[in-house]
Structure 1
Amino acid sequence: MKAMFVAGLVVLQLGAAPAIGAAPPQEPSAPVASAREIVAGVKIPYQSFTLDNGLRVLVHTDRKAPVVAVSVWYNVGSKHEPKGESGFAHLFEHLMFGGSENADASFFEPMQQLGATNLNGTTSYDRTNYYETVPTGALEKTLYLESDRMGHLLGAITQAKLDNQRGVVQNEKRQRDNQPYGLVQYAQAAALFPADHPYGHPPIGSMADLDAASLDDVHGWFRQHYGPNNAVLVLAGDIDLATAKPLVERYFGPIKRGPDSSPIAVAFPTLPARKDETLQDRVATTRLYRTWVVPGLNDPDAVPLAIGASVLGGLASSRLDNVLVRDEKLAVSVSAGLQTFAQVSLFAVSAHVKPGVDPAVVARRLDAIIADLIAEGPTAGEVDRVAIQNAVDTIKSLESVGGKAGTLAEGLLYSNDPDHYAQDLDAYAAATPATVKAALGQWLSRPVYALTVTPGARPADREAQAVTKASKPASAVSQTQVPVVKRAPAPAVGEIADLTVPPVTRARLSNGIEVVYAQRRALPTTQVALSLDAGYAADPKAKRGTAALTTALLQEGTTTLSSLGIAERQETLGASITAGSSMDRTRITLSALTANLGPSLDLFADVALHPAFAPNEVDRGRTQMLARIAEEKTEPGTIAARYLAPALYGRDHPYGMPGTGDAQAVATMTRDDDLAEFHRAWFRPEKAKLFVVSDLPLATLQPLLEARFGTWNGTGPAGTKRFDIPTPAPRPRIVLVDRKDSPQSLITAAVVLAVKGTDDTLALESAAEVVGGSFLSRINMDLREEKGWSYGVWAELEQVRDRMTYTISAPVQADKTGAAIAALLADHQAFLTGKGVTAEELERTRSGMIRALPGAFETAGAVLGAMQENDRLGRPDDYYQQLPTRVRALDPERLDAAMRGTVDPARMTWVVVGDAASVQPQLESLALPVEVVAAP
């Protein structure tokens, strides 16, 4: 291990670039934990039982928080769909949230009142799962609701619900397809699998099959696949077997067994020869893909293949990063990974070609690097670093009870072994260069599918572009009367424990830096955030994007380490360092194993305080930032943001431009006048705070932080921000950005408020939650759940330190753009002129906010984030402990007054990103001026 680390220390040539900051830190000590040592003792203890109806149940006890994760996995996914029924599994996932026979309302309604966190459902090729984490006192009611939709669903599925959710799913498909590179998944499926292969179509399905689904079809689908004998239930958290078993027997035991699910025969496809294809798309630059079908997760070669993919393009120190991005500068980004499924996997590689470079040159080098890895195999150091990263990632994923529940359920459903994760950990630790080389040689020597996506017009025959076709009712309406079985009423919610979060302690280093600390002992890890009063708002007016480029370059070389040396050092230590900015703050964050904390802190301080900004790295970083800006101008959400920010705040205001900034400014940034100067002005002790969450006591941590940051001093003048720049007067209008052939329109609208993020905004936040801040909000229930025009609509307060905005975002099918804007205006106007917060909405909001608190602070990362947010907005450290009392004091009148006195939809600026040919005529009746501009 030590030899491998030394090999990774690539020292920059002296004199290549002047040092930034103080002297470099002390020589770091060697790492002390190997992959095998890291995972030693990693175990999720559980007990199990099986009901007479075949439902398999696992129970894991974890008392660190008064919450229980409930995870139900059904053995049904898109691979079970016969021809003509693609998308059925995913459609049924949506229908399962629409209410059951004894709880005939949106599943989100009771869940929000119960304070559920981590609530969702997903569909893959292999399974459909539903999960939520609830306060312990809400577990019994949750089990009632989950059992009702398992055993008592069909009587609640009506033609109207089917038609609505069909529309929602089709808009989800349009939303995904509308993204740059959104058509790649279809090209890959068509090239790699026969049309009738179980893995031959994506889970989202086809528009035609979704249109054709009848009520009888979906009833039959449920009866065939959703029996208890085809499911796994996992309870993890503040629960034990003695408590869980009688509850599960009471609520799930009476459900009748369904048909037994037969295993799906899956042929393993191999292309007869290499297949090269080119696809045009609305993208900024060319991207290359290389894909093979390889074995599924239970195959002995799955782990060696995953390691090979990480060595190739998954690590920060990967082969593709080193050659294509760092050394030869042919690509701006690369990736490789194993997309693992139950019976097959995809070994997928991509390279984002640097603008101005011939894609054919990159393609040849990409193929040569892959071929070299196949022929020579990885080094021992590479394999070790992958194993360490996997071990650390696994441990972190198991910090939450939801992560444990999902891990156990996946192992039981896919491998008939809840401990399958432990087998994988052992396999990673035991892997050698020889085993990885053998797996790569066996599977990647087969013909590859090589796809090139180039900028251009999208194919005109894509089904997702048929946006003017409304979802039609099913051709055959069910004549079958489903008997509704009445059950006893749902149980009452039990006692909900109060929020318990670790107390926050503050201290100071000798140079005045404040340390904000909380102790969490659940994992032997330490997280540190160096938070600086900088952010995008600190950008000079003429050089928007300086903060983004500066932070992007922090890990691209220090005065003692190259970018490769930094990457290898992190991977060897099992540490993760990230750097980035929000509008108000710049943060460098360390996540480290406490056993390796000393050397991890050495690296963290070196990255934060001593960036080299070497000229070659500046050139590369600038090119990558320009490519990122170009990409933003092809994606609907970032297109809208680039028009909305300057329209709201004006270009001279600190909030007047998205974080990546202006391409012309980025292109002219220099090392000394811009990047090094920004670092000197804003990376200094008087602008810094250290936030720490660790299993170690503060008395142990403070000397470690003092040794790395206590002698840090600023030089030169400090940076300043000016928020006294007036914002332009509101000019209500619709800016229509003409993005040709868009199957969906993205509607955004916003207004600057006379309220700051540092004000007391609790009543306003709560009112905004009712109108647009949750799944059950008025605008989402209107446009998604009632009209079926969108996959999801929301509104939120952008809580910056200075004047905030209220922002609406509504991706809708293109032929409903005008009607959707009219509906959004009507929903807001109704609230502001009379239909204020109802008693039901208030109770749901209050109960949800209070009861969700224990689940919201289950992990160290959540605690660290809350500490920083409280500090940024000037809140007390015990803000969340005080919150229940303050929330209980809210009443409808306060919420109504907060919203009505602050948000005026008549002052909003609207930006619509869509196809002007079909959208513009829809906007003529809205009584708002329309400006049509070309997409950037």
Structure 2
Amino acid sequence: MKSFLMLCSAASCALAIGAAMPAAAQQAPAAAPAKAEAKPVPVAELVKKVDIPYESFTLKNGLRVLVHTDRKAPIVAVSTWYDVGSKHEPAGKTGFAHLFEHLMFNGSENAPGDFFEPLKQVGATDFNGTTSFDRTNYFETVPRPALDRALFLESDRMGYLLGAITQDVLDEQRGVVQNEKRQGDNQPYGLVYYKVLEELLGTTPYGHNVIGSMADLDAASLDDVKNWFRSHYGPNNAILVLAGDIDAKEAKPLVEKYFGAIPAGPKSVLPKVTVPTLPAAKTVTIKDSVAATLILRSWAVPGLNDKDAVPLSVFASVLGGLASSRLDNELVRKDKTAVQVSSGIQSMAQLGIFTVQAVVKPGVDPAVVSKRLDEILADLLKSGPTADEVTRVATTKVSGRISGLESVGGFGGKAVALASGELYSNDPLFFKKELEATAKVTPAEVKAAANKWLNRPALTVMVVPGQREAYQEATAVAAKPAAEGAKAEPVKGTRGALPAVSPIGDLVFPKVERTKLSNGIELIYANRTAVPVTQVEMSFDAGVAADPSEKLGTQRLTLNMMDEGTTSLDSTALAEARERLGAGISSGSSADRTYLSVDAPSPNLAGALDLFADVVEHPAFAPAELERVRGQSLTGIAQELTTPQSLASRMTPRVLYPAASPYAKLGAGSGDPAVVKTITRDDLVAWHKAWIRPDKAKIFVVSDRPLAEIKAALEARFGGWKVDGPAGTKAFAAASQAVTPKIILIDRPNSPQSLIVAAQLTPVDPFADTLAVATANQALGSGFLSRINMDLREAKHWSYGAGGGFNFMEHAVPYTISAPVQADKTGDSIKAIQQQVKDFLTTKGVTPEELTREVNGSTRELPGRFETSDAVLNAMQQNDIRRRPDDYFSTIAQKYRALTIPQLDAAARAALDPNKFVYVVVGDASKVRPQLDSIGLPVEVVPAASLASTKPAGN
């Protein structure tokens, strides 16, 4: 499913939406050689490659345990799923399940304090928790010698939690959750989902948002939350999955040891849910600070276990999920009345939401788009999908699942597949049956299911530009006297100390091999065999810094056009061919590099590379399609001017870099709309010719196929690629500008949060050994346990999350702190950041405890950190760009162990100056400006709309 309720940015639109002009009508920079189309492997063959064998057992207290053995790395994913979600919440207690997710990270009776501390110490990766309508889960991937500690922690919060929850802890996490809610609500279209749930599912237990209401969160008492825990978090209400370097014989005594003594509790009662049907079609209109009107049409449909779930999912993909979908082809490519469309199903255990959405092109009557949307849907309901469409959907879904199952844990790995199947369907292998059903479903079955459920009345929610209604804020909570429990001491534990962790071996990073194609393009390769997938990324020495100064936005528009048709395929044909292969083709850029990439199941690699080479070497840049994509880009730019992070990202480079620096171009975002309107096809062809060329390219590959095979495949497609004309150049001769510390307030009215961005340029050399300064920053700004986050989130609960870090660009290393905070604490938050940074760089440097934690965590996490091909591919590129040896991560553990506190303090103090930060604040000036005047820095107020121009505002 495409992104839900988000207008695609210019970057994401680039390869998600294509052109419909026939190849014969396109002008071309070069002719593409004719190739016989490689035949994709049948989807049923791909399904056979998806397998997660498991063993299971159940403890006497009812805890269900699933074990999957995967010996590819010395790590184990620990995933605990509780049968409690927001659908179990009674009226007046919305948000309780999610609030408890937070409370269960705040320590237990035998492991007081944040759980992130002991998890970080053992090198845990992929550790987090999530809450949905149907369940709450907690997960971490740990080195095998740390499994005892992970099981101790998970069992302690299952059986020994209540004594650690005090009024202080509740108030703290309530504040954090309320800021998480503000952060989501503060985004464009951020309130629409509340309306969908209320109007469509309001009569069911699924009718309220998982995060709850401010009023219910305010009203939650200590007794309320403790009773909630007693009712839902017993072992007989949970599933534990262990996936990785372990088997059931090893697992059973460990699970018995840590969980066996926990008594069973009440079992969650499955609420009664009937799929509701609206009595009549209904349209609701809400206003928001958005750049374009959103039409969102929804139906309640059956849950994931219903026989119609798979056919409905396939129908949704054909309608608006594929890049070649009916909605894309008609509304975006042909009519050009929408700039983004999508369709998909949010499948829950007991029901689902079928959603169709269109973002209307500014200037177009939404009623016209709404009428066309209905016509396209009606036509597909009448005729049904083609067999080819159904096959393309199945191949795309199976391909994505294969890639996702490389991880043993995290948000979507093997542990998740097993646990969700067991909890929702009483079958850990449900995921495979779902894939098999997707591979076998017929067009007639898809048509029948869609007609059964989508001929019912629909809910339409329209989000139109305008001023939002008043935001429902939290009630200020008065401080409670100590006698009321605010200072109650947590219960002391009885289980003894945390289990010790035996020595953890250092990482053996995959062997990286280098070779060259016949035309000189360097190929950097690593072999990974966990999944039959190949990832190829071409990195070009270009990036945002290569954007033409007089036409900022050219690079982005060029990338957006490269998948809109080649000299041999129009964009629809290109998208269809890609989907038949289960391949993904994408683009992107950093300050210094432009990326084009392809990934595919290895059995389909030949065909995927044929398409990729066509996109890279022979984009058509069809004039008619340029006008359509230009319109999408302009809408994306307008959207950037309504989004807090995008506004800050536009302003910050303008104050850090002189106007002549190539890095000042970062302040243009996706471009200046006035300039983007003037970019011609010739500009795109010229930029492609100067920068997307073999003498600026390196190819990075991670694959289960051997290097010889990969090289031969790439040589056949890129070995004959020749340079044509002079290459582009980037000039970094401009001197750094003197930056005057100040506050620039970007006025964004009616913002429940302010986004604070503090930035300065540092003297750090990106090609030197930066391990000391990066490790020092782990204590100050990077990660959950950093001082900035622990202060603003955990101690003050003014933010859902804050932190800072270095950006190691090739010609500059800025340091940036980002902190979304509740609006009424904006000024105090800046003061808190200033104090934390000043203390760290003067009298309160790195502590022995922080050094131990960072060295332990950073060395022990290495096997989990590089578990996936994605991570290896990114590391290979970073090593290359930063001129580090290919085996850098194989030697890094001993470098960590050699670090000392004086080294870290010296590195941080040489890099950062607490008095040189410029603060960019995005928020409601009427509420925020009075808070800023007491900070002692000059304050400039800038209208958000002024940042559309690329002129150096704020200097």
With the shorter chain as reference, the TM-score category is over 0.9
Q: Return the offset for 1:731.
A: 1.2
Match of 1:43 in 2: 51
Q: Distance in 2 between matches of 1:488 and 1:888?
A: 29
Asked whether the 8 Å contact 2:20–2:333 carries over to 1, the reply is no
2:498 to 490, 496, 516: 490
Q: Deviations over 1:1-46 (max 9, x none)?
A: xxxxxxx9988444631324xx424414332411111111422100
Match of 2:251 in 1: 244
Match of 1:864 in 2: 873
- Counterpart check, 1:408 vs 2:415: no
1:630 to 633, 638, 653: 638
Task: Name the aligned partner's letter for residue 585 of structure 1.
Answer: R
Match of 1:370 in 2: 377
- Counterpart check, 1:610 vs 2:641: no
Summarize the Cα distance change of 1:227–1:476 in structure 2 as closer, same or farther, 3 Å threshold. Answer: farther
Q: Return the offset for 1:467.
A: 6.2
Q: Return the offset for 1:763.
A: 1.0
SS of equivalent residue, structure 2 residue 665: coil
Q: Distance in 2 between matches of 1:453 and 1:11?
A: 31
Q: Distance in 1 between matches of 2:266 and 2:764?
A: 59
Q: Distance in 1 between matches of 2:23 and 2:452?
A: 42
Asked whether the 8 Å contact 2:507–2:862 carries over to 1, the reply is yes
2:549 to 533, 541, 552: 541
Q: Return the offset for 1:904.
A: 1.1
Asked whether the 8 Å contact 2:75–2:863 carries over to 1, the reply is yes
SS of equivalent residue, structure 2 residue 928: helix
Question: Which structure 2 residues correspond to residues 225-374 of structure 1 after superposition, within 5 A?
Answer: 225-374=232-381
Q: Return the offset for 1:194.
A: 2.8
Summarize the Cα distance change of 1:879–1:28 in structure 2 as closer, same or farther, 3 Å threshold. Answer: farther
SS of equivalent residue, structure 1 residue 453: strand
- Counterpart check, 1:742 vs 2:758: no
Q: Deviations over 1:346-389 (max 9, x none)?
A: 00111111111111111110111111111221111110000001
Q: Distance in 2 between matches of 1:473 and 1:791?
A: 23
- Counterpart check, 1:521 vs 2:512: no
Match of 1:670 in 2: 680
SS of equivalent residue, structure 1 residue 566: helix
Asked whether the 8 Å contact 2:109–2:490 carries over to 1, the reply is no
Task: Name the aligned partner's letter for residue 395 of structure 2.
Answer: I
- Counterpart check, 1:844 vs 2:853: yes
SS of equivalent residue, structure 1 residue 544: coil
- Counterpart check, 1:174 vs 2:182: yes
Summarize the Cα distance change of 1:705–1:287 in structure 2 as closer, same or farther, 3 Å threshold. Answer: same
Q: Return the offset for 1:758.
A: 2.5
Q: Return the offset for 1:475.
A: 13
Q: Return the offset for 1:497.
A: 2.5
Match of 1:501 in 2: 509
Task: Name the aligned partner's letter for residue 419 of structure 1.
Answer: L
SS of equivalent residue, structure 1 residue 901: helix
Summarize the Cα distance change of 1:254–1:378 in structure 2 as closer, same or farther, 3 Å threshold. Answer: same
Q: Distance in 2 between matches of 1:16 and 1:271?
A: 47
Q: Return the offset for 1:652.
A: 2.7
Asked whether the 8 Å contact 2:109–2:161 carries over to 1, the reply is yes
Q: Return the offset for 1:260.
A: 2.1
Q: Return the offset for 1:889.
A: 1.1
Asked whether the 8 Å contact 1:94–1:165 carries over to 2, the reply is yes
- Counterpart check, 1:453 vs 2:460: no
Task: Name the aligned partner's letter for residue 232 of structure 1.
Answer: I
Q: Return the offset for 1:172.
A: 0.5
Q: Distance in 1 between matches of 2:484 and 2:136?
A: 26
SS of equivalent residue, structure 1 residue 905: coil
Match of 1:720 in 2: 729
Summarize the Cα distance change of 1:472–1:629 in structure 2 as closer, same or farther, 3 Å threshold. Answer: farther
Asked whether the 8 Å contact 1:738–1:933 carries over to 2, the reply is yes
Q: Return the offset for 1:522.
A: 1.4
Q: Distance in 2 between matches of 1:717 and 1:483?
A: 72
Q: Return the offset for 1:484.
A: 5.0
Task: Name the aligned partner's letter for residue 405 of structure 1.
Answer: A
SS of equivalent residue, structure 1 residue 299: coil
1:781 to 774, 790, 794: 790
- Counterpart check, 1:583 vs 2:591: yes
- Runs (4+) of structure 1 moved beyond 4 Å? 8-11, 470-485
Match of 2:145 in 1: 137
Asked whether the 8 Å contact 1:290–1:349 carries over to 2, the reply is yes
Q: Return the offset for 1:756.
A: 3.6
Q: Distance in 1 between matches of 2:52 and 2:485?
A: 46
Instruction: Give me the TM-score of the superposition, normalised by structure 2.
Output: 0.95
Structure 1: gaps (5+ residues)? 1-7
Asked whether the 8 Å contact 2:75–2:144 carries over to 1, the reply is yes
Asked whether the 8 Å contact 1:640–1:912 carries over to 2, the reply is yes
- Counterpart check, 1:17 vs 2:27: yes
2:838 to 822, 829, 838: 829
Match of 2:692 in 1: 683
Q: Return the offset for 1:615.
A: 0.3
Task: Name the aligned partner's letter for residue 119 of structure 1.
Answer: F
Asked whether the 8 Å contact 2:40–2:580 carries over to 1, the reply is no
Match of 1:3 in 2: none
Summarize the Cα distance change of 1:474–1:631 in structure 2 as closer, same or farther, 3 Å threshold. Answer: farther
Q: Distance in 1 between matches of 2:50 and 2:863?
A: 25
Q: Distance in 1 between matches of 2:720 and 2:290?
A: 48
Q: Return the offset for 1:700.
A: 1.6
1:435 to 425, 428, 445: 445
Q: Deviations over 1:266-292 (max 9, x none)?
A: 132110000011110010111110111
Q: Return the offset for 1:471.
A: 7.5
Amino-acid identity (%)? 57
Task: Name the aligned partner's letter for residue 17 of structure 1.
Answer: Q
Question: Which structure 2 residues correspond to residues 373-388 of structure 1 after superposition, within 5 A?
Answer: 373-388=380-395
1:208 to 201, 215, 240: 215
Match of 1:444 in 2: 454
Q: Distance in 2 between matches of 1:349 and 1:733?
A: 45
Q: Distance in 2 between matches of 1:489 and 1:472?
A: 34
Q: Return the offset for 1:861.
A: 1.6
Q: Distance in 2 between matches of 1:482 and 1:468?
A: 26
Task: Name the aligned partner's letter for residue 748 of structure 2.
Answer: R
Q: Return the offset for 1:697.
A: 1.1
Q: Distance in 1 between matches of 2:623 and 2:845?
A: 58
Task: Name the aligned partner's letter for residue 130 of structure 1.
Answer: Y
Q: Distance in 2 between matches of 1:67 and 1:720?
A: 45
Q: Deviations over 1:396-429 (max 9, x none)?
A: 1111111000110000011111010011011101
Q: Distance in 2 between matches of 1:806 and 1:481?
A: 39
Q: Return the offset for 1:470.
A: 5.1
SS of equivalent residue, structure 1 residue 792: coil
Q: Return the offset for 1:886.
A: 1.1
Task: Name the aligned partner's letter for residue 791 of structure 1.
Answer: Y
Q: Return the offset for 1:438.
A: 0.6
Summarize the Cα distance change of 1:50–1:823 in structure 2 as closer, same or farther, 3 Å threshold. Answer: same
Q: Return the offset for 1:571.
A: 0.2
Q: Deviations over 1:799-827 (max 9, x none)?
A: 21111110011111111111000000000
Match of 2:932 in 1: 923
Q: Distance in 2 between matches of 1:414 and 1:497?
A: 38
2:649 to 617, 635, 641: 641
Asked whether the 8 Å contact 1:211–1:474 carries over to 2, the reply is no
SS of equivalent residue, structure 2 residue 745: strand
What is the Cα-based RMSD across aligned positions, in Å?
1.7
Task: Answer with 721-730 or 846-855: which moved more.
Answer: 721-730
Q: Return the offset for 1:902.
A: 1.3
Match of 1:574 in 2: 582
Asked whether the 8 Å contact 1:214–1:476 carries over to 2, the reply is no
Q: Deviations over 1:756-791 (max 9, x none)?
A: 422321111111111010100001110100011110
Match of 1:4 in 2: none
